[in-house]
Structure 1
Amino acid sequence: MDTDAAANIPHKGVIVGVVPGQSPRLLREGARYAKLFQAPLVVLHVDVMRFVTYEDPDGYVGSTPVDLGAAAAESELALVHADASAVLAGSGVDWSVHQLVGDPALAIKHAADKSDARLIVVGTRKRGLGESIREFFTGSVAARLAHRQQRPILVVPLGEPASDDEELWPES
């Protein structure tokens, strides 16, 4: 894992915050805007199982795992890279994958600030009770980004939208 990933992110790119297995629509929208801006596409995954312990003035970031047995970060990064390769092949966009650690909203904001990103692209959460509970405790990454930084944010709806008379949190 690249612990100094924020320092290596291309300048003035379009940042797309992703998780493994997320809808390919998110990467396609990010690539579309990167092409419009003639900017590199930065596919960014944040490992929430690690947290930042310190950051040196030269940009090195020290981190510690929440669970010392967690080796999932490298496999998640590999999945993100595979997803990006599949979706972005032949797109004509210069893209790269990076992994940061900690709180997703703060990590994405930090990366956007350091790289002077043109745009941040994130998706909506999955529908369902479990995701609603998680969002209740951790907050929406898109909403937290919108309140903490000055860059434009594109929030891409993922999945099928709920109809006006459909329950947002079905019991099943």
Structure 2
Amino acid sequence: MVRPVLLLGHTHGPTGDRAVRVAADLASRLGADLHVVHVVDSRDYPVDPDSADFDTEAERRLADQHARVEALLRRAGHAGAGYSQETVRGAPVAALAAAADAVDAFMIVVGTRGEGPGSALARLVEPSVSHGLIGHQSRPVLVVPAGAG
């Protein structure tokens, strides 16, 4: 029997880390494989595009992001078998949807920035990935709320 796949869209910061912990717990409870996808964004690049080590620094930041997810999964007891990770480029909603299609994920898990005036302003600059996925997906989308724990 083929194990189901749970796709996690991971981003920087506490919200992304919380989503890793929730997705790892859910995958363990469901006996599912976990496929973690990081969509490259501006935080993955150095500030100065003309710096001599721009490409090297960008690759280091992506490797650090990858290692962070692995460390979180180890702490959650989910590292090793049943886990894969990839980094992709593109519009986050489209990239996560394509990755979910590629692995035939039964569900997508993403974090949220939360609600409130700050989040509303942030959505004007960078649209909500969770809202975009919910509106354009045939598969379930689990949105992990921001918060402690």
CA change 1:75–1:132 in 2 (3 A) is farther
Q: How does 1:147-158 map to 2 (within 5 A)?
A: 147-158=135-146
Amino acid at match of 2:136: R
Q: Which of these two proteins has the greater Rg computed from alpha carbons?
A: 1
RMSD: 2.7
Per the normalisation by structure 1, the TM-score is 0.65
Figure out how many residues of one structure are paired with residues of the other and give that number. 133
C-alpha distance in structure 1 between counterparts of 2:18 and 2:125, whole Å: 26
Secondary structure of 2:142's partner? strand
Q: Structure 1 residues 139-148 or 122-131, which shifts more?
A: 122-131
Specify the alignment match of 2:124 in structure 1. Answer: 136
Deviations 1:48-93 (A, max 9, x none): 35xxxxxxxxxxxxxxxxx965636423422222221221116145
C-alpha distance in structure 1 between counterparts of 2:86 and 2:105, whole Å: 14
C-alpha distance in structure 2 between counterparts of 1:92 and 1:19, whole Å: 18
CA change 1:119–1:139 in 2 (3 A) is same
Amino acid at match of 2:14: Q
Unaligned runs of 5+ in 1: 1-10, 50-66, 161-172
Specify the alignment match of 1:28 in structure 2. Answer: 21
Amino acid at match of 2:35: V
Specify the alignment match of 1:48 in structure 2. Answer: 41
Deviation at 1:139, TM superposition (A): 1.6
Specify the alignment match of 1:159 in structure 2. Answer: 147
Identity of matched residues, %:
36
Amino acid at match of 1:86: A
Deviation at 1:37, TM superposition (A): 2.5
CA change 1:124–1:92 in 2 (3 A) is closer
Unaligned runs of 5+ in 2: 43-47
Deviation at 1:116, TM superposition (A): 0.9
CA change 1:77–1:131 in 2 (3 A) is farther
Deviation at 1:30, TM superposition (A): 0.5
Specify the alignment match of 1:86 in structure 2. Answer: 71
C-alpha distance in structure 2 between counterparts of 1:43 and 1:132, whole Å: 27
Per the normalisation by structure 2, the TM-score is 0.74
| Higher helix proportion (structure 1 or 2) | 2
